[in-house]
Amino acid sequence: MKQKGCIGIDIGGTNLRLALVDQEGRVLARSEEATLPAAGLPFLLSRLEFALEGLRETARSAGMEVVAVGAGVPGLVGRDGVVRASVNIPALEEVRLGEEIEKAVGLPVLLVNDANACAVGEHRFGAGRGCSSLLVVTLGTGIGAGLILDGRLWVGADGAAGELGHVPVEPLGRPCGCGARGCLEQYASATAISGGSGDAEAVAAMARGGDAGSLTLFAEAGRYLGIAVAGVVNLLNLEAVILAGGVSGSFELLEPSLRRELSARSIAVPGARVRILKGSLGNDAGVLGAAALACSSLPL
Ligand SMILES: [Zn+2]
């Protein structure tokens, strides 16, 4: 019998990542190119179609059949399959992206929010393996999160669950793009840490070199993360909270103040239970999670 595989896609504001994945979560081939969000939907779809065909060809020559595609998108994916509130790629808004890709490549397509794809990836193949209840926080330009409860992805009544970036941590704090004030995203995203430039890596490099101001920026980000995480942990009694996304590369700079705040604010039993971990899949979490969801939605 022919081996079956899935293709995972991570549609980011900057990069379009695709990976051919087998049923054990091994990446057999990958492709990556610039998203160019300003070029519009037809351009994005034709790039996707081209990249998908390339990976299908690779699969064919390896004797594998691609049976489904999973795509993680930066936006809210409604239960009706329509993408909403995609801040980084406005061209995707109000589009039935899954159907569009299905039409282009003739395979079943499962659409999922990118943070949720990342959470499924870390849960199935990464730092969250073996946990049945966990939160995966994606720290990047903004902050997202995916919640796994009793081994299943929890997307909420409208597919909008996991917006940890808009959990309030300062009642009268900084204004946020969502219209509220004092959201976590305004204190712990790459944008917040870098003072707007988005280059939190540069701040991290200075912090590692001993720069006091840069160390304080990370300590503050960690403290605010600890406040938000304590709320989630007290509410849900999770086994693990995993930090993923670009800023999680600076895990060691965030960790001490996050843990301090968490232990000060969490009640005894859930506080002692929860493990704070760094994601182990890096950029592959999203494509692996999207592929796994697509594969598991099929009667294989
Ligand atoms: Zn907000």
pLDDT above 80: residue 1: no
Distance (Å) from CA 225 to ligand 1 centroid: 14
Distance (Å) from CA 178 to ligand 1 centroid: 4
Task: Show the tokens assigned to 109.
Answer: 């397509």
Amino acid identity of residue 92, one-letter, is L
Distance (Å) from CA 54 to ligand 1 centroid: 39
What the chain holds in terms of domains, given with CATH numbers, is 3-117+284-297 (3.30.420.40), 130-279 (3.30.420.40)
Distance (Å) from CA 211 to ligand 1 centroid: 29
Distance (Å) from CA 182 to ligand 1 centroid: 7
Distance (Å) from CA 176 to ligand 1 centroid: 5
pLDDT band at 81 (very low <50, low <70, confident <90, very high): confident
CB atoms under 10 Å from CB of 61, counted, come to: 8
Task: Show the tokens assigned to 150.
Answer: 């009793």
Average pLDDT over residues 47-61: 96
Distance (Å) from CA 72 to ligand 1 centroid: 21
Distance (Å) from CA 60 to ligand 1 centroid: 45
Mean pLDDT of the chain: 94
Give 192-251 pLDDT, tens digit per residue.
Answer: 999 999 899 999 999 999 999 999 999 999 999 999 999 999 999 999 999 999 999 999
pLDDT above 80: residue 98: yes
Q: What is the pLDDT of residue 296?
A: 86
Q: What is the pLDDT of residue 137?
A: 98
Q: What is the pLDDT of residue 146?
A: 98
Distance (Å) from CA 197 to ligand 1 centroid: 19
Distance (Å) from CA 275 to ligand 1 centroid: 26
Average pLDDT over residues 122-143: 96
Distance (Å) from CA 79 to ligand 1 centroid: 23
CB atoms under 10 Å from CB of 292, counted, come to: 23
Give 7-23 pLDDT, tens digit per residue.
Answer: 999 998 888 999 999 98
Distance (Å) from CA 161 to ligand 1 centroid: 14
pLDDT band at 163 (very low <50, low <70, confident <90, very high): very high
Distance (Å) from CA 283 to ligand 1 centroid: 25
